[in-house]
């Protein structure tokens, strides 16, 4: 009996290529599905004999299908849920799904419930929760006696709150140790998404509040092309992080703390006490590599970011309605069936 663990990758665009690299590091062989012949050629050239290809999912499903060790869904966002359902109908149990999980709250809730009822597992590719960032930041906070983290902010150019801001919302949620209790948002969209002309890039401001008083805020501006900057705040310290995990920690000057213990005044220095990269786990893996290793080993993860997937979509509803929404959203108060043009 073969002990090989084989994988399926549906979608081999820019993100799918990254998945393929990590899948090949964790699994034995990969079947890649994409309608783009050039993408399939790249996959074959990259993976050699370990990669087989198909131009449609039906071709895989109708060719003596046997469940894969993992099926990664990295195609167009609106097709995520139909793809998962088609695979489930053939007995597939384990999924890694690119974010956003779905373009509607109802579909996100339903597909998670369906996978659970079937005894399966669904991991959302929110790689920062699987990276070394949560433990690295928490270890720095303990080392320097920073106390409770108060908030996380992210600002940047055309990075899209729905497709990139979600990563930092999820990281903040992990660091705070709970999901947000409400959200407000003021958003606008433009059809500048490089994946498809019909998909929107959302810009503007989103604010989430948490039960312990923590806050997460995100501001993206489509008029700018710069990448994001992420900041973390404690009572007397701030952290600054680049998208690649480069992290700087600065502490307030002792004289400032003594004179102004509760507020900040100009003229006092922040002293740098740490500069390094926190992206890799203790075992030297990136977030995506660690995710696939967990899947390979059959590990059970208590939270893979399913609430984050829903909470992000709630921000789009909050902006459209012009009101603060309690979380998780109440299906009797808003139309959770609405589909948003995101991917």
Q: What is the pLDDT of residues 271-311, one digit of tens each?
A: 999 999 999 998 899 999 999 999 999 988 878 889 999 99
268 or 309, which is more confident?
309
pLDDT tens digits along 141-173: 999 999 999 999 999 987 778 888 999 999 999
To the nearest 10 degrees (0 to 180), the angle between helices 166-176 and 306-321 is 120
Q: Does one domain contain both 253 and 264? A: yes
Q: Does one domain contain both 122 and 136? A: no
Q: Does one domain contain both 89 and 156? A: no
Range of the domain at 268: 129-277
Mean pLDDT score of the chain: 92
User: Where are the alpha helices (H) located in the chain, listed in sequence order?
Assistant: 14-26, 37-47, 57-61, 80-88, 105-117, 127-130, 133-143, 166-176, 254-259, 287-296, 306-321
135 or 301, which is more confident?
135
CATH of the domain at 121: 3.40.50.720
This prediction has a pTM of 0.93
Q: Determine the pLDDT at residue 1.
A: 40
- Examine residue 338 and state whether it is found in any structural domain, yes or no: no
Q: Determine the pLDDT at residue 222.
A: 86
CB atoms within 10 A of CB 14: 11
pLDDT tens digits along 170-196: 999 999 999 999 999 999 987 666 666
- Quote the percentage of the chain above a pLDDT of 90: 78
Q: Does one domain contain both 90 and 80? A: yes
Structure tokens at 275: 């500069």
- Examine residue 260 and state whether it is found in any structural domain, yes or no: yes
- Region 98-103: what's the mean pLDDT? 92
C-alpha to C-alpha distance for 126 and 144, rounded to whole angstroms: 28
CATH of the domain at 180: 3.30.360.10
Q: How many domains does the chain have?
A: 2
User: 296: exposed, middle or buried (C-beta count within 10 Å: 0-12, 13-18, 19+)?
Assistant: middle
**φ and ψ at residue 166, rounded to 5 degrees:** -60, -35
Q: Does one domain contain both 172 and 257? A: yes
């Amino acid at each position: 009996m073969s002990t090989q663990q084989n994988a399926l990758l549906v979608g081999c665009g820019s993100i799918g290529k990254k998945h393929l690299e990590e899948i090949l590091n964790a699994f034995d062989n990969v079947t890649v599905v994409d309608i783009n012949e050039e993408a399939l050629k790249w996959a074959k050239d990259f993976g050699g004999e370990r990669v087989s290809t198909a131009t449609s999912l039906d071709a895989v499903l109708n060719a003596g299908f046997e469940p894969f060790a993992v099926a990664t869904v990295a195609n167009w966002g609106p097709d995520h849920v139909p793809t998962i359902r088609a695979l489930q109908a053939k007995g597939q149990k384990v999924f890694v799904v690119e974010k956003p999980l779905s373009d509607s709250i109802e579909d996100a809730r339903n597909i998670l419930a369906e996978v659970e009822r079937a005894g399966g597992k669904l991991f959302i590719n929110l790689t920062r929760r699987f990276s070394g960032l949560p433990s690295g930041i928490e270890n720095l906070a303990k080392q320097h006696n920073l106390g409770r983290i108060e908030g996380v902010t992210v600002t940047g150019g055309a990075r899209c709150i729905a497709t990139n801001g979600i990563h930092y919302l999820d990281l903040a949620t992990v660091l705070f140790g709970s999901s947000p209790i409400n959200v407000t948002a003021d958003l606008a969209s433009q059809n500048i998404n490089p994946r498809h002309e019909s998909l929107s890039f959302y810009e503007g401001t989103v604010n989430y509040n948490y039960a312990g008083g923590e806050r997460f805020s995100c501001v993206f501006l489509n008029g700018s092309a710069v990448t994001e900057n992420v900041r973390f705040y404690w009572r007397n310290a701030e952290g600054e992080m680049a998208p690649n995990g480069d992290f700087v920690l600065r502490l307030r000057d002792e004289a400032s703390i003594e004179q102004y213990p509760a507020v900040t005044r100009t003229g006092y220095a922040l002293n740098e006490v740490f500069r390094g990269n926190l992206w890799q786990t203790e075992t030297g893996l990136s977030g995506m590599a660690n995710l696939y290793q967990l899947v390979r080993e059959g590990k059970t993860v208590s939270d893979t970011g399913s609430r984050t997937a829903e909470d992000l979509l709630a921000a789009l509803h909050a902006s459209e309605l012009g009101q603060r929404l309690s979380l998780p959203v109440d299906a009797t108060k808003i139309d959770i069936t609405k589909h948003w043009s995101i991917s």
